Structure 1
Amino acid sequence: MQIEPDTKDWTWVLEQPCPECGFVAADVVPDDVAGRVRETLPRWRAVLERGDAGERPDPGTWSSAEYACHVRDVFTVFAGRVALMLERDDPTFDNWDQDATALDDDYASQAPSEIAPQLDVAGRLVAWTFEAVPADAWARTGRRSNGSAFTVVTLAQYFLHDVVHHLHDVRG
């Protein structure tokens, strides 16, 4: 069964705490982003080591492995967006349809044992990317194709919510 696409605009998490996972974007400071990403990696590995990681809890909800694939790809997409923000003035990001990616890359059939090292590499790369942002570049801007505007700081906060929220989704 195909998962219903998520059409919510989650940028509201920059304005208020997430009632589902408890994440408070305003509490995230630039110097903490890389470390917080790295702290999630062993938790994701533990999730992927569960015997039921590849099983959907119900037909309309991703399995833990599918969530991990999504987060792996979030790591890659956001590393690219940060790099773009540092290279260009106020770039517009390419649209990324996460639901189409899940289908096109067949998240549902990927093996947790293969996802884990890929997620770890992508996580270390995005952590390094945020760690390498010069102190005077955190205010640089970029925008999504729908017009949502970000600074590198707010992009980091928005990004980190996604990672933490999905750990909450999989009880990681």
Structure 2
Amino acid sequence: MPIIPDEKDWTWVLSRPCPECSFDASTATPATVPGSVRSMLPRWRAVLRRPDVAERPDEDTWSALEYACHVRDVFSLFDQRLNLMLDGDNVRFENWDQDRTALDKDYANADPAVVSAELTAEGQQIAETFAGVRQAEWGRKGLRSNGSVFTVLTLAQYFLHDVVHHLHDVDG
């Protein structure tokens, strides 16, 4: 059964801590972003080893496997967006329909071992990309399709919230 799409604008997490997962974006700095990503990878791999990883807790909530697939794709998407920001000025991001992606890639029936390997590889990749950002590049700008403006730093903070929040969602 399809999940009801989440159409909230989560950019508010850049101005105050998330009451659900307790992530405080202001604590993420250029020096901490790569390590933060890397530190979450073992926790995601542990989630993907659970025997009930593909079971939805209810019909309106993704399974831990579906969340992990989403995070894998978040790693890839944000790496692409980060590279666009580093390569161009005031770039615009294409809209991403995460719910359509979940259906198109059949998240619900993915192989947890494959997802674990892919999530780890994509996580390592974005950590490396963030590690390579030079001090002068953290202020470069990009524009989301809804008009939200990000710097490389606020993109990193917004991105980290997504990954932390979904670990919270799956009790990882």
Does structure 2 conserve the Cα–Cα contact (< 8 Å) formed by 1:57 and 1:63? yes
Count of residue correspondences: 172
- TM-score (norm: length of structure 1): 0.99
Q: Which amino acid aligns with 1:32?
A: T
1:169 maps to what in 2? 169
1:1-172 superposed matches below 5 A: 1-172=1-172
Distance in 1 between the 2:95 and 2:131 partners? 25
Distance in 2 between the 1:28 and 1:107 partners? 29
Does structure 2 conserve the Cα–Cα contact (< 8 Å) formed by 1:23 and 1:161? yes
Q: 1:45: Cα distance to partner?
A: 0.3
Does structure 2 conserve the Cα–Cα contact (< 8 Å) formed by 1:23 and 1:165? yes
The sequence identity of aligned pairs, in percent, is 61
- Deviating runs (4+, > 6 A) in structure 1? none
Does structure 2 conserve the Cα–Cα contact (< 8 Å) formed by 1:72 and 1:119? yes
Q: 1:59: Cα distance to partner?
A: 1.1
Structure 1 unaligned spans of 5+:
none
Distance in 1 between the 2:131 and 2:54 partners? 32
Does structure 2 conserve the Cα–Cα contact (< 8 Å) formed by 1:92 and 1:142? yes
Q: Which amino acid aligns with 1:33?
A: V
Q: Which amino acid aligns with 2:62?
A: W
Structure 2 unaligned spans of 5+:
none
Distance in 1 between the 2:26 and 2:54 partners? 34
Distance in 1 between the 2:160 and 2:58 partners? 26
Does structure 2 conserve the Cα–Cα contact (< 8 Å) formed by 1:54 and 1:111? no
Q: Which amino acid aligns with 1:113?
A: A
Q: 1:114: Cα distance to partner?
A: 1.2
